[in-house]
Amino acid sequence: MAALPLMQGVCCPAEPLPGHAKTTSKQACFQEDHWKEKLRQPARIQVQPARQLQQAEHLGDYNIWSGRYAGEGFARPSRATTRVCLEADTGFTRADVFDRSAPICLHFARGCCTYGKDCAYRHCTPLGEDEKKMDASRDIFGRERHASFREDMGGTGSWSRECRSLYVGRIFAKPSEDIIEETVARHFGEFGAIEALRVLKPKGCAFVTYTARCTAEFAKEAMAEQSLDHDEQLNVRWAYDDPNPRAKAAKLRDYAQQMLSAMAARGDMAQPEVFSNMDFPVAKKRMVDRDVTRGYGADEAASGGSSFVPMMRQEHEAREAEVQRMHDERAALEAEQVAAAATEAEAGRLDAILQGIDDAKSCGPANPAGPLDEFYSFLEDGSNRDAPQPSAHAGSSAHAGSIPACSAEPPHSDGAQQPDLANLPPGVRRTRVAEEWIEYIDPSTRYPYYVNARTGESTWQKPT
């Protein structure tokens, strides 16, 4: 069952009401031109005045707004005795001559206007121009609309809602769904284009959504308490929402399709068409991300022919473990390299000191005590690392020979860096690069590397 686009219009039920011209059901689709042409003829009187008077005498005051006679209470309204026959009743009235912005006649819609061409309201079905100039605060009959629906979903409707959908209850539900749908479409399509029609056969009801609000307002009044092809008494109300799960699913699917198309247009997704043959129950599965979604549900993979391999939780954990293992290995390797560099630097430092002693001897007795002191301190190994070390200077092991042998005092770094040097392998330069990151020079390769002072993490990439 699909939504019917534009319904074939008919005028009257199979048996026309007394006083109505017999018309065939072979009207073309709803055509505005046809009804505009009809407005060239004078509107006819739908019901003789005497008949309405007789009713009024019998039942007391009739309230046209609430649609009830005084004292009638909330009893079920009686079956409609008149029904508009658009083909015969449409015509121009005083409103078309003097005030073309006048609302449509409510009694005309109910098929009981006694004024005919003398009516101060228009006698025609709502047309496109009506929808354009409609005021949200009033309906097509000029009645006030309200912020919310009436409790029984009757009345003029709510201006906070679209008000294009009607609930049609108490339909004779013996025929098949298709026949009911055709029947409802034939009777309700008479007033204007129908956008969607859903029939719930088990409940004997249908939801009719018109393309225009004014058409829905007109149809609601015109079809209230009427019958279709059988002897029903329809219950026509405003519909909040079509409760048919298929209708909801269709709406959701439309949204999803729109979204996917938009994503495809942006280039976020390669193949939106994969989703087009997705049945909706499948779509209820988790939508975490594209890969994971494809992974769930073998039926989807089968229908979509997707080449994605399902990834289970165990596989995911295994992959995570592998990544962690590789990370650990790399960290161990780096630590090894640092240790090797430290050892090498230590050897380089000793070379430098010995070289310094030799140089001092050859230079003469300028200050031989300096290099010797260094040598002794080196032998103590770490117990007095706080002392200024020549090897901690910018010159590293490879630059051992560059230490000024004859200088009056042993070269050392400036005082501010002294505390940092305590835990530093000799021959390695350190400078602060960014917050927490310190740059070191690898003595073996001469490449700088970076250590995070807080986490101990090291990297060859310069952190930003």
Cβ nearer to Zn ion, comparing 90 with 389? 90
φ, ψ at 401 (rounded to 5°): -70, -15
Rule CB under 5 A: is residue 119 a binding residue for Zn ion?
yes
Cβ nearer to Zn ion, comparing 7 with 105? 105
Q: What is the DSSP string of 224-287?
A: TT---SSS---EEEE-SS---HHHHHHHHHHHHHHHHHHHHHHTS-S-GGGGTT--HHHHTS--
* Among the residue ranges 108-116, 200-208, 266-274, 370-378, the one whose residues contact Zn ion (CB under 5 A): 108-116
* Among the residue ranges 16-24, 118-126, 282-290, 301-309, the one whose residues contact Zn ion (CB under 5 A): 118-126
The pair of three-digit structure tokens given for residue 251, joined into one six-digit string: 């709406």
Q: How far is the CB of 121 from Zn ion (least distance, A)?
A: 5
Contacts of 386 (CB under 8 A, 6+ apart): 418, 422
The pair of three-digit structure tokens given for residue 130, joined into one six-digit string: 């009506």
Cβ nearer to Zn ion, comparing 105 with 173? 105
Rule CB under 5 A: is residue 149 a binding residue for Zn ion?
no
* Among the residue ranges 119-127, 176-184, 437-445, 454-462, the one whose residues contact Zn ion (CB under 5 A): 119-127
Cβ nearer to Zn ion, comparing 105 with 260? 105
CB 172 within 8 A of CB 232: yes
φ, ψ at 335 (rounded to 5°): -60, -40
The pair of three-digit structure tokens given for residue 321, joined into one six-digit string: 């473990």
Let me know if 40 is exposed, middle or buried by CB neighbors in 10 A (0-12, 13-18, 19+).
exposed
Closest to 113 measured CA to CA, from 17, 16, 47: 47
Q: How far is the CB of 104 from Zn ion (least distance, A)?
A: 9
Cβ nearer to Zn ion, comparing 83 with 237? 83
Cα 260 from Cα 242, distance rounded (Å):
24
CB 143 within 8 A of CB 217: no
Answer for which of 12, 88, 95, 113 binds Zn ion (CB under 5 A) is: 113
Cβ nearer to Zn ion, comparing 95 with 451? 95
Contacts of 373 (CB under 8 A, 6+ apart): 410
The pair of three-digit structure tokens given for residue 388, joined into one six-digit string: 């200024």
Q: How far is the CB of 115 from Zn ion (least distance, A)?
A: 5
Q: How far is the CB of 95 from Zn ion (least distance, A)?
A: 9
Answer for which of 9, 85, 104, 108 binds Zn ion (CB under 5 A) is: 108
Rule CB under 5 A: is residue 105 a binding residue for Zn ion?
yes
Alpha carbons within 13 angstroms on the beta-carbon side of residue 166 total 32
Q: How far is the CB of 221 from Zn ion (least distance, A)?
A: 12
Cβ nearer to Zn ion, comparing 115 with 450? 115
The pair of three-digit structure tokens given for residue 2, joined into one six-digit string: 């699909």
Rule CB under 5 A: is residue 180 a binding residue for Zn ion?
no
* Among the residue ranges 20-28, 98-106, 284-292, 425-433, the one whose residues contact Zn ion (CB under 5 A): 98-106
Cβ nearer to Zn ion, comparing 115 with 378? 115
Rule CB under 5 A: is residue 218 a binding residue for Zn ion?
no
Q: Find tokens 């405003």 and name the residue.
A: 238
Question: What is the binding site for Zn ion (CB under 5 A)?
Answer: 105, 108, 113, 115, 119
